[in-house]
Structure 1
Amino acid sequence: MKCFMYRKMWCSILICIAFCCNALAQNKKPNIIYIIADQLRASALGYAGDPNANTPNLDQLAQKSFNFKNAVSVMPVCTPYRAALMTGKYPTTTGMFLNDLHLPLSEYGLGDVLADRGYTTAYIGKWHLDGHGRHSFIPPDRRRGFEYWKVAECDHNYNHSHYYTGDSDEKLYWEGYDTYAQTRDAQQYMADQVGKEKPFALFLSFGTPHFPHHTAPEELKQHYPLEDIVLPENVPESMVDGLKIEAQGYYAHCEALDISIGNLLSSLEELGISENTVIVFTSDHGEMMGAHGVRAKAKQVALAEAARVPFLIRYPELNGNAGRTIETPITTPDIFPTLFGMLDLPIPATYEGDDLSEVLTGNKEIKNHAVLYMKLAPWGVGGSYDREYRAIKTSRHTYVRSLDGPWLLFDDINDPLQMNNLAENPSHKKLVGEMDKQLWKLLNKFGDDFKPAQWYIDRWNLKPASHGSIPYSNDGKDQENPQSPRLTNGTS
């Protein structure tokens, strides 16, 4: 009789524990996986209509996601984008407008922000915010609150790329092609978090499809015969042959990304955490690849190929498996205010970006919304596009102002390749005036008077070399004083 009573009591306890665990799981904040590709243009995906792209996993993800079709990089190059993402601030506020700069420790880093909101944090892959040299060890006190850490400051040797982990300054190397290896590590990290009390926020920062393009997996390059590659009409015929060679490796890198993300999504399903995980897929900036006659590998240009990025948010708890294309534009400082707003998490008072979460939770668009992107200093991209600019993107137009005044205006719906500059058309003078007014409204909001490059270099006490750049360096000494960094050549 006593045995039966004890058994009944333990059954009740176990049922109670199971009920409580289920309740905790339901009330647990969702996990966050933020995936950053490097130099992936918004158009270079199957779901975006690129005839060359073989990206079935991303195409399927897009069908189940909020797809921001008018997302731009606030400054289309690596370090400035990452600084804006990590701080929620514009480059004109932080001074992070050149590659290889050191993000000041006084800034409220995103890892710390997420930890303060109850998350376990992890970062795998490329960092490019420390400014102490591209192969330098980044100690824990400079990791901005990220606990799990397998990171390199910057390394594009994809078949022999390095990383550091834990408290050790021993340089380690990913096994084989790093996109695949980093994905496997992310899969293991997710598996290790299952059943733990805290949700996790995992950043997976790939180096691809950034050049060198020829180092993509050979078996994937064979999927893109040169004679089958189709380049857009805005690429000059004289550049086509050379660009097809670059494009072959570029699309092979993209396919490898797609395979990796497919594996990551499969792991989420197998682990049973897909429904309670927010997935963001995006890029830090695009790639010109010869468009408008600008050389391959160039970015920082005001045109769509460099400035526009893919931006998908999948959160089954909010939208199930029903995807939606969103016209409302978004720029980098808006990203985490929007995600926090969607998840009903406190938004730091230091953030300058807009909370656009009503677009997601309210199934609506924000009419006449415009977002800002910019270049503060020349980067050596060549030609007429190598100049300072401020630009805005709306759901329909791209408008760009140089120091000389209105420069570019495109109707991105009727002219997606941006081949017809309306700023030079007298019949669009009124529209140019309206867009210019909208641009200055945003610049005034963030205290940017749009000065020449030297003004910003002097303001942040930067020390350019006599030739205006420093060479790419792997010796860890390319910035002897990270608090007074020098102008870099923008090669990453």
Structure 2
Amino acid sequence: MEKKNVVYMFADQLAACALKLYGGNWIDTPNIDRLAQMGTTLDNSVSTFPVSSPYRSMLMTGRYPQTTGHIVNHLCSRHDEIGIADAFSHAGYKTGYVGKWHLHRGSFPDSMACDWVPAGRSRLGWDYWRAYNQHMIYFDGPVHAGDWLSDQVEPHEVNRPQWRGYETDGLWEFSKEFLSENKDDPFILMLSPHQPHKTPGVFAPEKYYENLPERFELPPSVPEEQVEETQEMLRHYLAMILTIDEMLGNLLDFLEENGLMKNTYFVFTSDHGTQLGMHGLPPWEKQYPYEESLKTPFIISGPGIAAGVRSDMLMAPVDIMPTLCSLCSVSIPKTVEGMDLSQKVLGEDAADEREAALTMNYSNAYGSLKEGRQWRGIRTKTHSYIRHFGGCCELYDLQVDPLQMNNLADDPAFEPVFQGLEKTLGEQLAERGDTFCACKELRSWFDSERRVVANAFGPLPHPETEPDWSLL
């Protein structure tokens, strides 16, 4: 049987609600809509930990942050983690990663430096590598192809290539290179542009601003004091979404022109959303337990996937690796903690599905453990429940109140729902070894080199220990 390919494209900080596909009203995204007509759109794809590195660790390993130790950004992944590239490579696939990685310390805390990731286990098994850790240089930015410092003896342009022009154009060229070289073999490509994330530099080429309106209609969950900041943010944010849509179109065109689409599972999604001024929060902020941060677009097309339909199935990041493995008949590593939802994705109504997703945030900072914004929660298809550190709770009926403007935590009519979700939260926290303690108590989880040396279950072996390949 012919092996199936995978292309997984995930934008950075793209909230589902910013797209017309999910009820937005700001811009047209013809290629995102085109993919939706080719595949199935998930209405309950939840980031669960709306911060870059925690999401990426879940995506790459199928394991929770309480296990991987990725509870803030800029930590180095443990070498003994078995990743999705390891699983596919073991099954005979060519593997390629293009774009932002963010599972290493890189040049932290400098976001405008030329940072990269050393070859070997820091890349978790990816072979073709045109990536950077986290920098925000959107024009003529650097990626890394070879080893950490071997550019001292090799030609600079071989080991540290730059994309020419804007990031989405440059990363598309690297993606095309990988696909052209490997189109006759089974492959998995992950593509991670940094857009539409904020940058201290220039956001996007001027042409993407030309057809944007001067003012945008805002939902009632944006209070008056956030309106002007949100209006300014949206011009940059939406311009960058247009660059993403164009990049997606280039990918779809290439796959169709080369006869690859019919045998390829294609996913378009995002690592998390952004607040967009809603709930009175700064528009570029995430880390919050609200749908603008948590809910992500998720479209999947490919063999056996129904076209032009929507699914209310609940998808968490830890489920993505086992689901893709199963769709491609690749063995799921024994280390994986997420659910295989492949049968549900294929439209089997009676298939097992996720009833609830554990949501969380650990810190009031992105790269360090700082008190504040500590919460845990449960997201179901119909409700979102949040318990903040210190005891304050929130409960929302997402079907009646999608903007989460009416907190039902103290409503006697919803006491059974409240108690049921609190029970589920307690059970899931116990399963993950999460005591929901003050974050300062977790600073021993990583060392001075930002390597993970402990997790919720205790101290771990040396962070550069090789994997136990018998678990693959």
- TM-score, normalization: structure 2? 0.87
What's 1:209 paired with? 196
Question: Aligned partner of 1:236: which letter?
Answer: P
Q: Please give the alpha-carbon distance, in whole angstroms, between the structure 1 residues aligned to 2:346 and 2:440.
A: 43
What's 1:76 paired with? 50
Q: Do 2:275 and 2:286's aligned partners in 1 also have CA atoms closer than 8 Å?
A: yes
What's 1:174 paired with? 163
What's 1:395 paired with? 381
After TM superposition, give the deviation of residue 192 of structure 1 in Å. 2.1
What's 1:379 paired with? 365
How do 1:418-429 and structure 2 match up within 5 A? 418-429=404-415
What's 1:364 paired with? 349
Does residue 1:334 correspond to 2:319, yes or no?
Answer: yes
Query: How far does the alpha carbon of each residue in 1:30-75 deviate from its partner, in whole angstroms, 9 at most, with x for none?
Result: 1110101001011111211211022111012112222221111131
After TM superposition, give the deviation of residue 386 of structure 1 in Å. 4.2
After TM superposition, give the deviation of residue 165 of structure 1 in Å. 1.1
Residues 461/166 of structure 1: CA separation in 2 closer, same or farther (3 Å cut):
closer
What's 1:222 paired with? 210
Q: Do 1:115 and 1:121's aligned partners in 2 also have CA atoms closer than 8 Å?
A: yes
Q: Do 1:406 and 1:432's aligned partners in 2 also have CA atoms closer than 8 Å?
A: no
What's 1:3 paired with? none
CA RMSD of aligned residues (A): 2.2
Query: How far does the alpha carbon of each residue in 1:314-344 deviate from its partner, in whole angstroms, 9 at most, with x for none?
Result: 11x2136x23212121111111112222333
Q: Do 1:226 and 1:245's aligned partners in 2 also have CA atoms closer than 8 Å?
A: no
SS of the residue corresponding to residue 151 of structure 1 reads: strand
What's 2:232 paired with? 245
Q: Do 2:78 and 2:451's aligned partners in 1 also have CA atoms closer than 8 Å?
A: no
After TM superposition, give the deviation of residue 441 of structure 1 in Å. 2.0
Q: Do 2:61 and 2:321's aligned partners in 1 also have CA atoms closer than 8 Å?
A: no
Does residue 1:295 correspond to 2:282, yes or no?
Answer: yes
Q: Do 1:126 and 1:153's aligned partners in 2 also have CA atoms closer than 8 Å?
A: yes
Residues 252/136 of structure 1: CA separation in 2 closer, same or farther (3 Å cut):
closer
How do 1:137-176 and structure 2 match up within 5 A? 137-141=116-120, 142-167=122-147, 168-169=150-151, 170=156, 171-176=160-165
Segments of 5+ residues of structure 1 without an aligned counterpart are 1-26, 464-479, 486-492
Q: Do 2:69 and 2:452's aligned partners in 1 also have CA atoms closer than 8 Å?
A: no
Higher RCO (C-alpha under 8 Å, 6+ residues apart):
2
After TM superposition, give the deviation of residue 177 of structure 1 in Å. 0.4
After TM superposition, give the deviation of residue 367 of structure 1 in Å. 7.0
How do 1:276-295 and structure 2 match up within 5 A? 276-295=263-282
After TM superposition, give the deviation of residue 355 of structure 1 in Å. 1.2
Q: Do 2:16 and 2:292's aligned partners in 1 also have CA atoms closer than 8 Å?
A: yes
Q: Please give the alpha-carbon distance, in whole angstroms, between the structure 1 residues aligned to 2:298 and 2:347.
A: 19
Question: Aligned partner of 1:338: which letter?
Answer: T
SS of the residue corresponding to residue 144 of structure 2 reads: strand
Question: Aligned partner of 1:417: which letter?
Answer: L
Which of 115, 124, 136 in structure 1 is aligned with 2:115? 136
Which of 415, 421, 434 in structure 2 is aligned with 1:435? 421
How do 1:260-275 and structure 2 match up within 5 A? 260-275=247-262
Question: Aligned partner of 1:379: which letter?
Answer: A
After TM superposition, give the deviation of residue 104 of structure 1 in Å. 0.9
Q: What's the % identity of the aligned pairs?
A: 36
What's 2:71 paired with? 97
SS of the residue corresponding to residue 279 of structure 1 reads: strand
Greater fraction helix? 1
What's 1:109 paired with? 83
Q: Please give the alpha-carbon distance, in whole angstroms, between the structure 1 residues aligned to 2:96 and 2:329.
A: 21
SS of the residue corresponding to residue 111 of structure 1 reads: helix
Q: Please give the alpha-carbon distance, in whole angstroms, between the structure 1 residues aligned to 2:384 and 2:279.
A: 16
Which of 194, 197, 201 in structure 1 is aligned with 2:183? 194
Segments of 5+ residues of structure 2 without an aligned counterpart are 109-113, 455-472
Q: Please give the alpha-carbon distance, in whole angstroms, between the structure 2 residues aligned to 1:428 and 1:137.
A: 49
What's 1:473 paired with? none
Question: Aligned partner of 2:364: which letter?
Answer: P
After TM superposition, give the deviation of residue 427 of structure 1 in Å. 2.1
Question: Aligned partner of 1:94: which letter?
Answer: T
What's 1:304 paired with? 291
After TM superposition, give the deviation of residue 116 of structure 1 in Å. 0.9
After TM superposition, give the deviation of residue 194 of structure 1 in Å. 2.4
SS of the residue corresponding to residue 423 of structure 1 reads: coil
Query: How many residues end up aligned between the 2 structures?
Result: 434
SS of the residue corresponding to residue 409 of structure 2 reads: helix
- TM-score, normalization: structure 1? 0.84
Query: How far does the alpha carbon of each residue in 1:339-389 deviate from its partner, in whole angstroms, 9 at most, with x for none?
Result: 2223332111100111122212343265771111211222289xxx94211
SS of the residue corresponding to residue 328 of structure 1 reads: strand
Q: Do 2:5 and 2:188's aligned partners in 1 also have CA atoms closer than 8 Å?
A: yes
Residues 483/399 of structure 1: CA separation in 2 closer, same or farther (3 Å cut):
closer
Q: Please give the alpha-carbon distance, in whole angstroms, between the structure 2 residues aligned to 1:350 and 1:182.
A: 31
After TM superposition, give the deviation of residue 273 of structure 1 in Å. 0.8
Q: Please give the alpha-carbon distance, in whole angstroms, between the structure 1 residues aligned to 2:75 and 2:38.
A: 37
Question: Aligned partner of 2:126: which letter?
Answer: F
Q: Please give the alpha-carbon distance, in whole angstroms, between the structure 1 residues aligned to 2:3 and 2:126.
A: 18
SS of the residue corresponding to residue 210 of structure 1 reads: coil
Query: How far does the alpha carbon of each residue in 1:154-178 deviate from its partner, in whole angstroms, 9 at most, with x for none?
Result: 1212113211113453433210001
Residues 149/368 of structure 1: CA separation in 2 closer, same or farther (3 Å cut):
closer
Q: Please give the alpha-carbon distance, in whole angstroms, between the structure 1 residues aligned to 2:146 and 2:87.
A: 21
What's 1:88 paired with? 62
Question: Aligned partner of 2:124: which letter?
Answer: R
Q: Please give the alpha-carbon distance, in whole angstroms, between the structure 2 residues aligned to 1:380 and 1:60.
A: 35
Deviates more, 1:140-149 or 1:269-278: 140-149
Largest Rg, 1 or 2: 1
